[in-house]
Amino acid sequence: MVAAQILPELEGDSAKNMGSKDLHHVPVHVPVHVLQPLVRLAETPYIIEHQPGLRIKTNNDGSQAPCFFALLFAVDKKSLAMFFVASLLTAWAVVLNCMTGLVVAAPNHCLPSSYITYTSVAGYFLQDDASTNASIFSFLDTHFGLINRTYPTDAGYDPRGKKTQWQRFANQVFKLNRDAPRGTQYKLLYMGRHGEGYHNAAESYYGTPAWNCYYSLIDGNETVAWADARITPKGVAQALTVHAFWASEIKNQKIPTPQSYYTSPLTRCLETANLTFGGLKLPSRHPFVATVKEFFREGISGHTCDRRGTRSYIQSAFPSYKIEPGFSETDQLWQAYHAETQLDQDIRSKMALDDVFTGDRETYLSITSHSGEIASLLRGEEA
């Protein structure tokens, strides 16, 4: 494992080219380790390729379904900044400023104080095993892919072998945090994709070329709307399948449930999160109360499905949700016939995680988002 490294500050033209006058850098050296279990839903989900440089792809028929990722990684308890799954990405030095181009500048509280890269640690989830067949793997059948193994902490915690794998794993995470070097903290991150939306169904119906060139640019057809698309009946069923899976894991396997919940502001994620986690038997101290975060949204394109609803709509439709400070009434990021670049998306994805971990000390976190956004969050693994 490689210790995390803080990249050098940007100076001169390198900083000016990013269009920000208020870069903030505090050089810190922090050792950080990452455990990366990547899991997916059965049926027709995205597939994770088990090789260096993880990528997400769809089945040959282009079908889509919710996918879940679980990421266990370490973060810097001292500066609590720049928490992103990355492997010594020198190119990421440029993300120490706010968003430029299509996406408006982030609030000052989103600016990081340091930059940290991470290395992955294998051996905890089946997705890290070279013998795992990604094309048929289902986290529904494998407890999120958690490997049935012993841990160094088992002898003292479970001498009679009565605890579940998840209980022993949680104890392992607890001990990792307890014994971690100063400035290191481990977290488990559950990342779930929304259920099938009406925009997904429309693209399948019209075909991708027609969808991209025409239909995606309008709000809907005579029978259905796909601007800020809701999830279809199939999408509802998919989310309820994941709900049942969580209920089973909680009851039978004692899985550590999320202590904090975050979601994209797009309706398909707001609905999926509610169906997935609402009504579960959760600890009273950590109920399902999702926080809506602007930067966890899908890659912003000219497609109307990527245009979110108003703050008033979200608050009215999902009154139990919290909305992050600074969230605008109308969508200030979406523009017709205009798309953010992949780099811009990766910048805001990293900023979103930075903002989450700056203010959240919990160990188990959930993010309900999109295939493109989850891919952006994972992009650092490609370096």
Residues 321 and 241: their CA atoms lie apart, in Å, by 22
The answer to whether residues 286 and 252 touch, using CB atoms and an 8 Å cutoff, is no
77 token code pair: 């308890």
Catalytically annotated residue among 194, 243, 303, 370:
194
The catalytic position among 294, 298, 324, 340 is 298
Q: In this structure, are residues 336 and 327 in contact, taking their beta carbons and an 8 Å threshold? A: no
* Residue 382 is among the residues annotated as catalytic for this protein: no
Amino acid letter, residue 282: L
* Catalytic (active site) residue 303: no
DSSP letters for 85-149: --SS-GGGGGGSS---TTSPPPPGGG--S-----EEE-SSBGGG-TT--TTT--GGGTGGGB---
Computed on alpha carbons and rounded to an integer, the radius of gyration of the chain in Å comes to: 20
Show Cβ contacts of residue 40 under 8 Å, excluding neighbours closer than 6 positions: 46, 47, 48, 67, 68, 69, 137, 138, 139
Number of other CB atoms surrounding residue 221 within 10 Å: 13
Beta-carbon contacts of 49 under 8 Å, excluding residues fewer than 6 positions away, are 55, 57, 134
Catalytic residues: 194, 298
